[in-house]
Amino acid sequence: MTIDPGNGAVMLAAIFLILNAGLSMALQLGFVRSMLIAALRMTVQLALVGLVLEVVLTSASAWLTFGVMGFMAAVAGYEIMARQERRFAGLWGYGLGATTMLLGSAIVTVFALTIQIGPDPWYAPRYAIPLFGMMLGNAMTGVALGLNALTGEVSARRRGIEAHLLTGATRWQAMTPAMRRAATAGMVPIINAMTATGIVALPGMMTGQILAGADPSQAVRYQLMVMFLIAGATGLGLIVAVMGGVIRLTDSRHRIRLDRLRGS
């Protein structure tokens, strides 16, 4: 049995947003505007995505499928850049985060489609786009947090890093503590999600399958597969992003180059 909540049920769910907005105004918490803008943006985006997917899913065109995925990656790359307190100057500000996120997401998605799921064709939009979206969204968060932590750590501890460099350490040796903190920051969300999954929370994919009538054990297997893939995509994109960030924040003479950050 497929459950269609209808527009009325969706509007009823929005009552809680209005309640939160009222509480925020009464207590002067200050998140009313950002929450309402986010809710409006989400509504418009999902409505547009629904219209686009109706066309894409019925066409089964490889070019259209990859075009949609490319657009998703381009927007996600901008979101990574926008979340940086101290972003890289020039094309690096957008390119590093977007490229590494796309790298991790694309590799894992192609692996899953060709080896694990096996739709015919392998790029079938019904499978490729949702799976790529899950990989992309989580990799985006991990890369954004990792790069933000890296630039902040290097900026705050510049003297300590330079002291290591002056004693003969390479840039990789001197940057190891900053890299470790950046990698930890980027992986925290997916690690927390895996820790809580099953006991604290039932993930959306598993819940959707159960509501659609799928066998719970089958839904569990799908969810485990997806969570492992998400962790892999996030970790791969994050590690490459952090390494690229270290290369950009130093030069071939093993000097710190904070001048390559915007506003430094």
Q: What is the pTM of this model?
A: 0.83
Which of 54, 65, 146, 78 shows the shortest CA–CA distance to 109?
65
Q: How confident is the model at residue 176, as a pLDDT?
A: 92
For residue range 101-153, what is the model confidence (pLDDT) as tens digits? Answer: 999 999 999 999 999 888 888 888 888 998 999 999 999 999 999 999 999 99
Q: Is the Cβ–Cβ distance between 104 and 46 less than 8 Å? A: no
User: Taking the domains of the chain in order of start, what are their residue ranges?
Assistant: 1-59, 61-260
Reported as a single tens digit per residue, the pLDDT across 32-70 is 888 888 888 888 988 888 888 888 878 778 888 899 899
Q: What is the pLDDT of residue 125?
A: 87
